Structure formats: structure tokens, C-alpha cells
Amino acid sequence: MGSNPDEVITTELLQGLLRDWFAPWIQAMGLRVSSFGDGEVTLVLPQSEQLSRVGGMLCGQAMMAAADTAMVLAIVTQLGTRRPMTTVQLNSSFLKPLSEQDARITARVIRAGKNLAFGEIDICGANDGRSVCRASTTYALL
């Protein structure tokens, strides 16, 4: 546990991981790293017709994908980039629809043990700040 002392986490590094570690289909979402702390990352998902279903609402599948992606980066801020990990479980609750604004995704590591990391994610409207999705997740640290 604990980050590698010789590795400096920056917004650019995290943004680069979005390109290097994730499938092209995930990259196509256009996620941007907005800010980060120790064990916490905030991403912005720009509003897009590509991610909207009938009625102009952000599809729930994109919310889940963004939640999972954000949590990987949140774990990196705490454990560094050299710790392989894999999602074990992700649970999402959809509170209300989101439309006509970007989404802000905040992922936070709740606990990182020897073999497992637990995290929670909030997705809210970037304009009105209202939560639309909450997720909790477990990762295996390999």
C-alpha cells in the first residue's frame, strides 16, 4: 500500500492513463480529468449526443462506465500506476435523469487494503450540482 515515492501524480499523467489503459470505446466518451487529491479524482463528462438516449438524457450505461473509469484513476492517486488492479464488483443506483449539461464524476477510495480496494462514486450535474447516480465498487489489487 502507499504510492511509489518516485512517481509524481499530475493531471496530465491521469489524463494520459485514460488514453493508455482504456478501450477506444471508453476514450470516445471524452472524459477529462478535472482535479484530483490523495485517493480522489474528479472527471468531467461533456454533454454529447453520442451518449444521449431518446429524450436527450445521458444514458445510464455511460454513467456506469464513467464511474468505473474514475475509480481506477482515484486508486492510482493513492497507490501509483504500477499496481495492477481489476474491478471485482460495481453497484450503481440511478437517482434521477441528467440532461442539458455536463456530468461531474467524483470517485473516492474508501479503503485500500492489501488485496482489495473499496471506493464510492458520485455523479452530478456540472451545472446544478445535483447527484444523479451513486456507485460503490470493489477492486482486486493484484
Residues of the shown chain interacting with a copy of itself in the complex, contacts defined by CB under 8 A? 20-26, 28-29, 48-54, 59-62, 64-65, 68-69, 86-97, 110-111, 113, 115-116, 118, 120, 131, 134, 136, 138, 140
Dihedral, CA of residue 43, residue 47, residue 49 and residue 51, to nearest 10? 30
Which cell is 24 given? 477506444
**Minimum CB distance to a copy of itself, residue 101 (Å):** 16
Give, in order, the Cα–Cα distances in Å from 42 to each of 5, 9, 74, 113, 127. Answer: 23, 14, 8, 22, 15
Q: Which is nearer to a copy of itself, 80 or 118 (CB)?
A: 118
| Runs of H (alpha helix) within 21-102 | 24-27, 60-79
Q: Which is nearer to a copy of itself, 5 or 44 (CB)?
A: 44
**Minimum CB distance to a copy of itself, residue 43 (Å):** 13
**Minimum CB distance to a copy of itself, residue 96 (Å):** 7
